[in-house]
A and B are shown apart, each in its own frame.
Chain A
Amino acid sequence: MNSYLILEDGTVYQGTSIGAVKEVISEIVFNTSMTGYLEVMTDPSYVGQAVVMTYPLIGNYGICFDDMESRGLWLDAFIVRELSEIPSNWRSENTIQNLLKQYAIPGICGIDTRALTKHLRDAGTMNGMLTNKLYEGAEFKKALDRIKEYKVTNAVNIATEKNVELFPASDEIENANKRKVALLDLGAKRNIIRSLQNRGLDVIVYPADAKAEDIIKENPDGIMLSNGPGDPKENVEIIKEIKKLYDTDIPIFAICLGHQLMALATGADTYKLKFGHRGGNHPVKDVETGRVYITSQNHGYAVDMNTVDPSIAVEAYKNVNDNTNEGLRYLNKNIVTVQFHPEASPGPKDSEYLFDKFIEMMEVKHA
């Protein structure tokens, strides 16, 4: 069945429909990872977005359910050049095609994903509609208006889990100090939780609308702010709560959206990047040591370093390619926040050590 991707500037790509047959309007973003498509599809940070994979052969190793980064699929649509119909891997249990259908997510294959990527790179991220209907004339115009109107809203609310839940430390790791971490779930990837559990920490996951008081009351050894979707500034209430967490002396580690919200909570501003960073090859420099780490990234917004009050926080990490901010260290606080994803999945684990640093932060506090 034919499928069309219509961009808000009127560009149309024709391809073949995959997954659910359904019309959606979404923000179109591209991801350059060559592996890890299931992790991408199940990353809650993609709420409100349709993802283009730049690598042309997607689905080669099938679907290994263990690799899911959350309980479901969050993206609005999946856009690929060639969908593999012959998955091959010892762990594979299913195919992308089935999964998309099961979660009622539409997709398109057979389009020139490189041309689309270049277009998004040059013109900037834009909205688009995935449809099986061929719009023409006035109808097409009307559709374009609808596409332009689209805005990602209420994303964190969609992505977060609704209940408080305890994830105990992994059995095989001895949790000698019985440390526990409160994780504010703004759309968290599972591997954040796993990374903490595997380091011997109990993790209590709080929904995004949790009150700071409730978290503090639990007396956690550390607080983790997770990744998540959407425009950071939209989360006015959450930002207020985060400010309250900032005011305590509990060590805080934040990733991606969490990093942005902490910046906003302490008076800095964020802005939308032209086409964002999504992939597993972004070089990030530790400003203090000069070491560069290859990181996994997925963000459309960034903290504007010019708006960070130097008496509150200093730049801890920056992007080697475009010098954008990649992390902050808060002064006189036990708080470190990063824009990239040390939990990887998908992508390189080179910055995984930050979870160990987080534990050190907790030890310092106890010492």
Chain B
Amino acid sequence: MLNKDIKKVLVIGSGPIVIGQAAEFDYAGTQACKALREEGVEVVLLNSNPATIMTDKDIADHVYIEPLTIEVAENIIKKEKPDSILPTLGGQAGLNMAMALEESGFLTEHNVKLIGTTAETIKRAEDRLLFKETMDKINEPVAASKVVHNVEDGLKVANEIGYPIVLRPAYTLGGAGGGIAENEDDCKTILENGLRLSRVHEVLVERCIAGWKEIEYEVMRDGAGNVITVCSMENMDPVGVHTGDSVVVAPTQTLSDKEYQMLRTSALNIIDELGIMGGCNVQYALDPESFEYCVIEVNPRVSRSSALASKATGYPIARVAAKIALGYNLDEIKNEITGKTYACFEPMLDYCVVKMPRLPFDKFVTADHHLSTQMKATGEVMAISNCFEGALMKAIRSLEQHVNGLMSYDYSAVDDKGLRELISDTDDRRIWTIAEAMRRGMSAYEIHQLTKIDEWFIKKISNLLEMEKRLGNERLDENLIKEAKHMEFPDRVIATLQGITEEEVYNLRKRLNIVAHFRMVDTCAAEFEAETPYFYSDYGVENEEFDLNTGKKKVLILGSGPIRIGQGIEFDFCSVHSTWAFKKEGYETIIINNNPETVSTDFDTADKLYFEPLTTEDVRNIVDIEKPDGAVVQFGGQTAIKLSQFLTGMGVKILGTNPEDVDAAEDRERFDEILNETGIERPKGETVFTAEEAIKAANELGYPVLVRPSYVLGGQGMQIAISDSDVVEYINQINQIEQKHPILVDKYIKGTELEIDAICDGKDILIPGIMEHIERTGIHSGDSISVYPAKSISENAKKTLLDYTAKLAKALHVIGMINIQFIADNDDIYIIEVNPRSSRTVPYISKVTGIPIVELATRVICGHTIRELGYEVGLQKDSGYYAIKMPVFSFEKIRGADISLGPEMKSTGECLGISTDFNEALHKAFLGAGVKLPKYYNMVITVKDEDKEDIIPIARRFEALGYNIFSTRGTYNVLKEAGVSCTRTRKVEQESPNILDLVLGHELDIVIDTPRDGAENSRDGFIIRRNAVETGVNVITAIDTAEALVTSLENRKKIASLVDIAALSR
């Protein structure tokens, strides 16, 4: 029953997107907030991430995009006086904050209750010792472990637990010094080494369960003690690879009912004992050779896995968890998918789901690709099919990594021995390596021995290889196509193997009527009629009966696929808002997307959801059946834009800006024509295909030059070259992937970067505001600190900006969104880039200006004019607030990645600082990004020659804040001469103690290290930057960021204001 005492609830989000904490919490939070408001509960929201949907005024009554700190949360509670906090929706960040507030007594003092799962429960699940005690109490096994401080104790514990044993030294870099010991001798050696390396001389001795099956259960419990299992999942990769980086299949495939029920019963006993109220994730290691198992972890909250489970089954976990928190029992909550049954049941699947991680090694080519217990994926894709082979093939092509099957990587340079090593070492390409090994004749058993992957999965991969072989050798008859399509071989791969064209395969199967049909995800394996149209494709079956003609106009909204660096949650925000706006306009909305973490793939976002890869073939399947009146591509990032020509070719009208015009913005020659006509300048540049051409162009333009491929997002492959050898290196990198379009070589101009998002209705434009980047040109806009409104440009420059924006929007016949980036060199304005589509900055600008940009753009696309919608045209008045978007990085999680900023984007997320005062806004932004300084008052400064002049005042200000500055020779001399007190330290290649020892001494706050441009130079300081990041030091690689940081620290005591974004509408 509804607890009527709950009237106002504070929901805490998870903050910026980082590896391990992505869009899944926006999805869960949004769903939960909607569920709360449905019951008349007032929702107060705190999340520092402005790109989220949960921070919309449509979702919560009061929205605070403020840093996730205790102080801020306390101030919000004092101001808003909520009676409750729902702590389980904001990932670990939200949970930790709620716990800290509870433990300090603040909540009791202010009469605020934690609803849903209690503090006691959270403690028992999260605290290592309490958790172990709880598990012991109910006889649930956990992997035995003990902390030791000397070899003798270590050996004793190892003998008690039994070999093999895992040894984990505490506080060493990336687990250095640890390992698996098979016997006492190994154990002794590793212990001695580990104890020496550990700063606290501590090693954890733990039972080795690597290689066991990793199984997860998503379970729920209500206040009456009713318990259910929503979904079981099996990791293809055994224990040892983080589940976020594993290929995961749902439901479990290789467990018999006995094993399945054993773990299910265990999971339910655990949540019962813990007293969970809501959703919970329980992870197990299961011995593949017995009934023995261990509980690895319990997460008493929604998680990445719960998002996956929700999408895999159709069961809305976050929604149900929110209702439980309000006092309802499971049997009182309707199952929204069937509309008939209740939330108190267990979903049954009649399909197979495969999740694959989206790993960031296309961005960090030189980073360590090894997968381990530290998650590295930025996002994920999910695919649904009737068989595992089909789901895997669909998942692979959903990744958008230029792979469409198991043949995508070239192993010709790897010999059999090398291949064997590659297989034993889990990396991002493991399944492709396995496929190659099997092609070379390695047996499934042998691969199982090397990888511990269950043979069931390996043999499934072998089925795909068998089909590959047949497609290469046999005539393409009806049966063969049927079987290939059943396994979801894309036409393109069939065509390649057959030596014909993709179109020929398509036509052939059209003629044979071998086409994709669509099936419903209904939570109940067809036992009950379902109401929610959530579909996946399948071959060789009947189409599910569903309404294809509602009489409404239909619009196809293409989503943005997996979250990756350069294309994040912002594009899901745009897709979802566009969908809502189309609904308001009376359209039937159809979303295609493959990302299980997002709001766009929630069951009630669009009228219909197709959970499918975003490739031409898969989209065509949907177009063939739905015959939409139009498609909108400008909100789904590059993923959607890439499909526009194809859609036009199929006769689907692209709503909004014409694809021809979108292309004109990307095509260098056509774009130059437009610039000529409009009299707009851009940095001089050339288009080239080869390294020779590039060198010639670079020398004509004069170094430094920017080198980049066309048609990319997030500056992928973009580099600043200062020499011919740089040019050659970069061109070769770009050409590793076949380029359909030329490479661009531009003169690099250093100036202030400005950015504008605008809406154009064909006649008038609306500009919500101008953004200015703190970092000068050369750093990708997504990695720059962005300030709204631009504060350093002259009125003249502003006028030019507005004039250029209007001209470009008109010249490109923009209907809807346009994003333009400029360089201002004093009053001279150059154009860098035009994107006739929605951009990364749209969500944040929408929120701080109160202008619903995506909705307006969508309505303009539907034929309305800006004036008609009640908006003034031109640049809108400033909102009266400074809003600063701060990039957030996940460098510490990707070993070997270079963290220095440049033209290629590297940040994974963002947070916001907002205030009427610029300095306060800046400090909030840094705080939101986790920069909580000062701590030790020690810092290192080592800058390139060009920055030496600029660093002096900055260093002086740090000194005034009380910082001890350490520098290597060059910087030291400059600072010393300028009268800044400073300690000289040796370079890393010099003898110890040197700068590295300083970093590893764990008492540094900041490293300012600006590397010189160029391939060779950026390698300098790499070790320092890596080690600093991995030990939790804040590393700054651009001089402008350093200045912003010192400004922020100077103003750190002034934080006082709170801005309710929901009140900012105009």
Name the one of A34, A88, A281, A347 contacting B254, with C-beta atoms under 8 angstroms: A88
Stretch of A107-115, A194-202, A259-267, A309-317 on the interface side: A107-115
Measured in the bound complex, the distance between the Cα atoms of B259 and A39 in whole Å is 13
Q: How far is the CA of A117 from the CA of B530 in the complex (A)?
A: 14
Residue pair B387, A82 in contact (C-beta under 8 Å): yes
Which A residues are in CB contact (< 8 Å) with B3? none
Interface residues of B in 250-272 (CB under 8 A from A): 251-258, 260-261, 264-265, 268
Contact of B257 among A36, A121, A279, A281 (CB under 8 A): A36
The B-contacting residues of A in range 204-235, CB under 8 angstroms, are none
Contact between chains at B226 and A34 (CB < 8 Å): no
Distance between Cα atoms of A283 and B351 in the complex (Å): 22
Given contacts A39-B257, A350-B268, A88 and B456 within 8 Å (CB-CB): yes
Per-residue CB contact flags for chain B residues 196-229 toward chain A (1 = under 8 Å, else 0) read 0000000000000000000000000000111111
Question: Which of B329, B345, B525 has a CB less than 8 Å from the CB of A117?
Answer: B525
A294: B residues at CB distance < 8 A: 227-229, 345-346
Give Cα A61–Cα B260 distance, bound, in whole angstroms. Answer: 11
* Interface pair A54/B525, CB less than 8 Å apart: yes
A61, B256: Cβ atoms under 8 Å? yes
Binds B, one of A98-106, A285-293, A332-340: A285-293
**Chain B 507-554 interface residues, beta-carbon cutoff 8 Å to A:** 519, 524-529, 540-542
Known: A35-B261, A348-B265, A350-B227. 12 other contacts (CB 8 A): A54-B526, A55-B348, A56-B350, A56-B352, A61-B255, A88-B459, A89-B254, A90-B290, A112-B542, A114-B525, A279-B527, A290-B329
A272 within 8 A of B: no
Does B342 make an interface contact (CB < 8 A)?
yes
Contact of A115 among B260, B388, B541 (CB under 8 A): B541
CB of A67 closer than 8 Å to a CB of B: yes
User: Size class of B's contact patch?
Assistant: 35 or more
List, in ascending order, chain A residues with CB within 8 A of B386's CB: 56, 81-82
Q: Which interface residue of A64, A114, A293 has the most chain B CB atoms within 10 A? A: A114
Residues from chain B with Cβ under 8 Å of A84 in the complex: 456
A321 at the B interface (CB under 8 A): yes
| B526 close to A118 (CB less than 8 A) | yes
Identify which of residues 327-362 in chain B touch chain A, using a CB-to-CB cut-off of 8 Å: 329-331, 340-342, 344-352
Chain A residues in 8 Å Cβ range of B351: 56
Say which residue of A67, A81, A88 sits within 8 Å of B258 (CB atoms). A67
Of A35, A39, A321, which contacts B342 at CB under 8 A? A321
CB atoms of B253 and A114 under 8 A apart: no
Contact with A along B40-74 (1 / 0, CB 8 A): 00000000000000000000000000000000000
| B1040 proximal to A (CB < 8 A) | no
Q: Is the CB of A86 within 8 A of B348?
A: no
Q: Quick one: which of A34, A121, A293 contacts B527, CB cutoff 8 A? A: A121
> Please, how many angstroms separate the alpha-carbon atoms of A39 and B254 in the complex?
16
In the complex, the chain B residue whose C-beta lies closest to that of A285 is B331
Contact partner of A57 (CB less than 8 A), chosen from B255, B344, B388, B527, is B388
What's the Cα separation between A202 and B345 when bound, in Å?
A: 35
Q: Quick check: A32 and B525 within 8 Å, CB to CB?
A: yes
Which residues from chain B contact A33 at a C-beta distance below 8 Å?
257, 348
Q: Nearest-CB distance from A127 to chain B (Å)?
A: 20
Is the CB of B667 closer than 8 A to any CB of chain A?
Answer: no
Residue from the set A33, A91, A117, A283 with the largest chain B CB neighbour count within 10 Å:
A283
> What is the minimal beta-carbon distance from A126 to any residue of chain B, in angstroms?
16
Interchain nearest-CB distance for A276 vs B (Å): 10
A 61-94 contacts with B by CB, 8 A: 61, 64, 66-67, 81-82, 84, 86-91
**A348 contacts which chain B residues (CB < 8 A)?**
229, 261, 264-265, 346
Q: Are A292 and B459 in contact (CB under 8 A)?
A: no
Q: Evaluate contact between B342 and A283: CB separation under 8 angstroms.
A: yes
Judge if A252 is at the interface, Cβ distance under 8 Å: no
For the complex, give the distance between the alpha carbons of A67 and B262 in Å: 13
Q: Return the 5 tightest CB-CB contacts between A and B, nearest first.
A: A36-B257, A88-B456, A281-B346, A54-B525, A346-B257
A33 and B252 alpha carbons, distance in the complex (Å): 12
A16-59 to B contact mask, C-beta < 8 Å, 1/0 = 00000000000000101111101100000000000000111100
Chain B residues, Cβ within 8 Å of A299: none
Residues of B within 8 A of A114 (CB): 350, 519, 525-526, 541
Complex Cα gap A279–B349 (Å): 12
Q: Does A128 contact B (CB under 8 A)?
A: no
Cβ contacts A to B, 21 pairs, < 8 Å? A32-B350, A32-B525, A34-B349, A35-B251, A56-B386, A60-B253, A67-B256, A84-B456, A86-B460, A112-B542, A117-B525, A279-B527, A281-B345, A281-B524, A283-B344, A291-B224, A291-B225, A292-B330, A294-B228, A346-B257, A347-B257
User: B896 within 8 Å of A by Cβ?
Assistant: no
Pick the most buried of B288, B346, B388, B540: most chain A CB atoms within 10 A of its CB.
B346
The interface residues of chain A, by DSSP majority, are classed as: loop
Docked Cα-Cα span, A282 to B224, in Å, equals 18
* Docked CA distance A346–B348 (Å): 14
Q: Mark B272-298, 1 if CB is under 8 A from A, else 0.
A: 000000000000000011100000000
Check B454 for interface membership: any CB of A closer than 8 A. Answer: yes
Contacts of B264 in A (CB 8 A): 348
**CB-based contact A281/B347 at 8 Å:** yes
Main secondary structure of the interface of B (DSSP, over half): loop
Least CB separation from B352: chain A residue: A57
Question: Number of residue pairs across A and B with beta carbons under 8 Å?
Answer: 156
CB within 8 A of A292: which of B252, B331, B528? Answer: B331
| B540 CB to nearest chain A CB (Å) | 7
Partner of B345, one of A82, A283, A346: A283
Nearest opposing residue in chain B for A112, CB measure: B541
Inside 8 A of A36's CB, which chain B residues have their CB? 256-257, 260
Could you tell me the distance between the alpha carbons of A67 and B261 in the complex, rounded to whole angstroms?
13
Report yes or no: B527 in contact with A344, Cβ–Cβ below 8 A. Answer: no
Q: Is B661 an interface residue when CB atoms closer than 8 A count as contact?
A: no
> Is B455 part of the contact surface with A, judged by Cβ < 8 Å?
yes
Which of chain A's residues have a CB closer than 8 A to the CB of B525?
32, 54-55, 114, 117, 279
Please report the C-alpha to C-alpha distance between residue A320 and residue B252 in the assembled complex, in whole angstroms: 26
Residues of B within 8 A of A117 (CB): 350, 525-527
B706-731 interface (Cβ within 8 A of A): none
Chain A residues whose C-beta falls within 8 Å of the C-beta of B225 in the assembled complex = 291
Given known pairs A57-B352, A117-B350, A283-B345, the reply for A345 and B526 (CB within 8 Å) is: no
A258 at the interface (CB under 8 A from B): no
Chain A min CB distance to B488 (Å): 14
- A349 adjacent to chain B (CB < 8 Å): yes
Closest to B523 in A: A281
Residues of B within 8 A of A55 (CB): 251, 348-350, 525
| Complex contact B256–A64 (CB within 8 A) | yes
In the complex, the answer to whether B265 meets A349 with C-beta atoms within 8 Å is yes
B114 → A minimal CB distance (Å): 25
| Known contacts A283-B344, A290-B224; A34 and B455 CB within 8 A of each other | no
Interface 1/0s, chain B 222-255, versus A by CB < 8 A? 0011111100000000000000000000011111
Closest Cβ neighbor of B268 among chain A residues: A350
Inter-chain CA distance A344–B264, complex, in Å, is 13
In the complex, whether A327 has a CB less than 8 A from a CB of chain B is no
Q: Is A280 an interface residue when CB atoms closer than 8 A count as contact?
A: yes
Residues on A with C-beta less than 8 A from B348 are: 32-34, 54-55, 279-281
Taken together as a complex, chains A and B put the C-alpha atoms of A86 and B386 apart, in Å, by 17
Nearest-Cβ distance from residue B758 to partner chain A, whole angstroms? 48
B268–A86 contact, CB under 8 A? no
Provide the bound-state CA to CA distance between A84 and B388, in Å: 11
CA gap between A153 and B471 in the complex, in Å: 51
Determine how close the nearest CB of chain B comes to the CB of A11; give it in whole angstroms. Answer: 11
- Residues of A near B340 (CB, < 8 A) are 321
Q: Please give, as numbers and ranges, the residues of chain A lying within 8 Å of B254 by CB-CB distance.
A: 60-61, 88-89
Q: How far is the CA of A87 from the CA of B351 in the complex (A)?
A: 18
A279 to B264, CA, bound (A): 16
Which A-chain residue is minimally distant from B457 (CB atoms)?
Answer: A88
Q: A346–B258 Cα gap in the complex (Å)? A: 8
User: Complex: how many Å from CA A30 to CA B1020?
Assistant: 67
